[in-house]
A and B are shown apart, each in its own frame.
Chain A
Amino acid sequence: MIGSGPIVIGQAAEFDYAGTQACKSLKEEGHEVVLINSNPATIMTDWNVADALYIEPLTPEFCERVIARERPDAVLPTLGGQTGLNLATELADRGVLETYGVRLLGTPLSAIRKAEDREEFRDLMRQIKEPVPESWIIESEAQLEAVLEVVPYPCIIRPAYTLGGTGGGIANTREELWETGRKGLKLSMRSQLMVERSLLGWKEVEYEVMRDSAGNCITVCNMENLDPMGVHTGDSIVVAPSQTLSDIEYHMLRTASLKIIQALGIEGGCNVQLAVNPDSFDYYVIEVNPRVSRSSALASKATGYPIARVAAKIAVGRTLDQIDNQVTGTTKACFEPALDYCVVKIPRWPFDKFATGDRNLFTQMKATGEVMAIDRTFESALMKAIRGLEVRSKDLRHPKTQAFTDEELRHAIGKPTDERLWALVEGLRRGWGVDEVNRLSRVDRWFLRKLAKLLAVEERLLAARTGSSEAVDALVSEAFLIGFPSVSIGALLGIDDDRLDPGFRAAAKGAIEAQKVLPVFKMVDTCAGEFESATPYYYGTFEDEDDAFAVASS
């Protein structure tokens, strides 16, 4: 096993989770595990996770020395992030694996190359008739001029090899493409740029799929980015399962994802990213990650389906129908999980520490971590995720965006940053309406309507302090049920604001205590209650039936 090394942006704790699971899974199968990883802060580099542990630099030279010393039968390259995969590829290229007779497990390198090499991937997609966005490599002004008539507008210009990715942009007309493109050629150290069809504003959807060596495939779950195309999925707010796709779209994309994993011949887990036109059934395949990724960690936690564990077993030859689903204990890994709840992930960015950093979000990931929240509705899962971020805003209020001028706010809604969620809310707060905020941000109206619904409760709580006649008790109860925590309710009602009438404040405080409902805890069981399940993985929600008590008492 090759680990993923130090935590960097884009490669965080998810590979400790995946690697630890894989080690356990391989040991269960009776294999002896040799691990190399340079990161001492991980569980996988513990004394007894692997059978032989090497805390050594993750360079081809050190890996080769470990291989020479341990003489492993095989290397598993797809569970150590891009670092592990690159190292395995390099060891194969240098002939190290051949010299020592080491097999590569899981997805063959040829399939990995097909997924990662732009040209090979496009060829394969054309063969199986899956659409990929058109693009052109431009290396001179003459070439640029030649494509002006050909490319679809708007298009994206990405100069290669520039400092900080400067010089790129969007062109809406041929004049803009000519201008920006010529500048880009000059800025690029190798005079090279790529022009591609712009999918900005399209919905971004991901499918987590698994395939075994016998060709069985399943989708673990799909996930929808609240932020439309244009923001790295690691920097997007993500919802699972998708909330705004029609049944036809859901299955169209699921079929495409399964077709792709089958055509690539992946043996293990894989993540397929797709862009969907919000106004038609058009879609494009954006990217495939032929390995366990950050998204698969999220999908595992969102569904209860242990992707890394199953991927490791597939790599040593098991098929999906032979692997037990540990969560239910009664079903097999070939059952597609079903979700009877909504999951929201919000990234955690480092701009509290890097105040001067560029907060604009684009295709380069900037988040260091993320939080996930589970509840029965999007609204309450979102509220949980926000307050779990440990940033200054604990709910929908955000002093900075609330202080924006209309002009600044319009900009903040249109241009994604770590603060855009609150900018969307503020647009709605100013009465701009769902349609206008959608036009500016391209965030689906469904999400915006949910934000508006939460905002309406916030506004009524604020109004209550200025003497609206509404019964505070009922209002507080409603706020709890939709997902506001008591601290937010208290702050909105102004219980600590000594300019307010003490009688009102006492009544409000009383209402919060009296109306506070204890949540029940529901189980994440991979099957939406279809089968008996006994895994103690819970989320809280305001309903009647408590799964946790049921387990405890049985």
Chain B
Amino acid sequence: MKPTVLVLGSGPIRIGQGIEFDYSCVHCIWALQELGYRAIIVNNNPETVSTDFDTGDGLYFEPVTLDDVMDVIAHENPIGVVVQFGGQTAINLAQGLHDRDVKILGTSESAIAAAEDRDLFERFMTKLGLPKPEGRAVRSLAQAEGVAGEIGYPVLVRPSFVLGGRAMEIVYDLDHLRAFYAEAEDANPGQPVLIDKYMLGKEAEVDVISDGVDTLVPGIMEHIERAGVHSGDSMAAYPAVTLSEAVQAQMVVAACRIARELGVKGLMNIQFVVEDDVAYVLEVNPRASRTVPYLSKVTGVPMVDLATRCMMGEKLRDLGYESGLWVLTGGPNPPAGPSHTPRAAGRILPEQAFVAGPVALPKPVVYAVKAPVFSFQKLRKVEPRLGPEMKSTGEILGIDNTYVAALYKALVASHIQFRGEGYVLMTVRDDDKPTGVAIARELVRNGKRLAATGGTHRALADARITAHRVNKIREGNPNLLDLILQGEVSLMINTPGTDRVAELEAAHIRRACIETGVPCVTSIDTAEAIAQAMELYADPSRAQVLRLQEYFTA
């Protein structure tokens, strides 16, 4: 009889924990079967492939709770349990299973705890000498006030051990902290609240595979929206578009060191924020993240298969890989080989080279842009502005051989399309006005008509850009709301400020957009992406349509 391995599923789909984890669980099962194990799963989500009766060698349709999982374990006596693909649902059971003498396969429960426990993580990062935003875990409002005062506002306040950025907020002053603290504490009672210096930089992330010694970085993803928008709600580009080679080198080196030091066996996700060409580590998650399926497909690296092999004791070196950054080289796709071999032509730039400093990166073969998709239309009274708390329910991918074409596809596939010939309505906060003007210029150059409210209108006029001036709601009729309701707006660009009165009005406008089907963009960076993609909006035939594999051979 084959040895049995139990894979824990990710439970119901919710914001922050979507179908991506089902993808990873299913691939883990397939990889285990290929390795000669009997792969069984516990999951309770009827919508998924992982609960298809012929996906694994055994399907236990049971709640993913400690009690229920222990019952299955007693029945099946598996050689171990896989927790790193089932999202927070599965990871949260790691400690309890370990306490009951169940073997956690791959990355150990103590490594998981070290990454999730703030104090341990702090010590760990100091030991490795890696930069991270200043911050600490606190257990009371008094402590929070102390820490925030010490490191200086704005600070990012969030609960620990929670996926998807629930109850996370950028806090600008003491009053704000006092008002918000209870919510963060309440989101995961009994666990500390994290207070970090908020850095407004570019965000980037990597998903890596490690066998505990060697670490493969399949690719670096750069977020289009700056820090402050939850990574799940950001557009993300692969490979990095604006990050310097020096910063990318820092990320590769940091990822390899963290994985080695934690003894990661399997997958790990690291989030960075970049300021002044330094990559600060924001978060380390020693498990599969929501970007794994997308990154696997656009890099050709079978990430879950490799991670599962590492978890079961194989070594990356024996599988034809080494420590470093995988880059696509173009050219014919490799012939179909065993499941762990890459599906696209590429090579590894070794870790050692990055340790020495920046490494020249080859010209990208493909660009892939992931964009979030929201369900605001279905949810009344939910505020569509983006922030540190995740709000999207799904995602799409745009892929092409040029960045702008990939960007265009991502925007269009996520329903950011000009609706008719009406105005592009702009109302942006002061900080965003310089970028807003540049965006406006690009829109006008491509034949779009603009409308803007007071301040934005003035900024545009100063730059000699013609725009129709509309009233804010409190300035009387007709105002921008009328314009939207009359169907005369094709796209809304509204970046929220901090003025509470103005924000109440803006929130109302954003809801009106949602309910009348006008695309509404709330981050200036997303708006900039639209401006960049204007030539494609004008002539979509400039985007290619190819089979996925064909993009790699260009």
Contact = CB atoms under 8 A, between A and B. Distances in A.
Interface in A368-398: 368-374, 384-385, 387-390, 394
B412 interface: yes
A230 interface: no
B160 interface: no
Contacts of B12: 348, 368-371, 388-390
B398 A524 contact: no
Contact of A365 (B14, B16, B378): B378
Nearest to B87: A390
B143 to A, nearest CB: 24
B51 A9 contact: no
B395 A39 contact: yes
B11 A38 contact: no
Nearest to A39: B396
Contacts of B540: 61
A538 B44 contact: no
B228 to A, nearest CB: 17
B47 A56 contact: no
Interface stretch (A41-49, A94-102, A469-477): A41-49
Nearest to A360: B380
B373 A6 contact: yes
Contacts of A348: 12-14
B412 A57 contact: yes
A344 to B, nearest CB: 11
B502 interface: no
A389 B389 CA distance: 21
A354 interface: yes
Interface string A79-92: 00000000000000
Given A6-B395, A57-B412, A371-B44, A364 B62 contact: no
B63 A384 contact: yes
B503 interface: no
Contacts of B14: 348, 350, 352-353, 368-369, 390
B219 interface: no
B52 A536 contact: no
A13 B380 contact: no
A204 to B, nearest CB: 19
A298 B512 CA distance: 35
Interface string B368-411: 00100111001111110000011101111111000000000100
Contacts of A528: none
Contacts of A20: 49, 52
Given A43-B49, A387-B63, A538-B59, A38 B13 contact: no
B60 interface: yes
Contact of B396 (A16, A38, A297): A38
B548 A9 contact: no
Contact of A368 (B15, B65, B68, B383): B15
Contacts of A518: 71, 74-75
A47 B341 CA distance: 13
B413 A58 contact: yes
B391 A353 contact: yes
A353 B15 contact: yes
A125 interface: no
B46 A302 contact: yes
A41 B19 contact: yes
A302 B53 CA distance: 11
A146 B20 CA distance: 54
A70 to B, nearest CB: 9
A21 B516 CA distance: 36
B164 interface: yes
B545 A539 contact: no
B63 A373 contact: yes
B378 A9 contact: yes
A298 B44 CA distance: 11
A417 interface: no
A356 interface: yes
Contacts of B370: 40
B547 A52 contact: yes
A354 B379 contact: yes
A57 B533 CA distance: 15
A319 B393 CA distance: 38
B15 A53 contact: no
A370 B47 CA distance: 8
A357 B61 contact: no
Contacts of B153: none
Nearest 8 interchain pairs by C-beta: A369-B13, A7-B394, A388-B63, A6-B394, A57-B413, A6-B373, A348-B12, A301-B46
Interface of B: 11-16, 18-20, 22-23, 26, 40, 44-49, 51-54, 57-68, 71-72, 74-75, 89, 164, 166, 290, 293-294, 297-298, 343, 370, 373-375, 378-383, 389-391, 393-399, 409, 412-414, 485, 511-512, 515-516, 540, 545-549
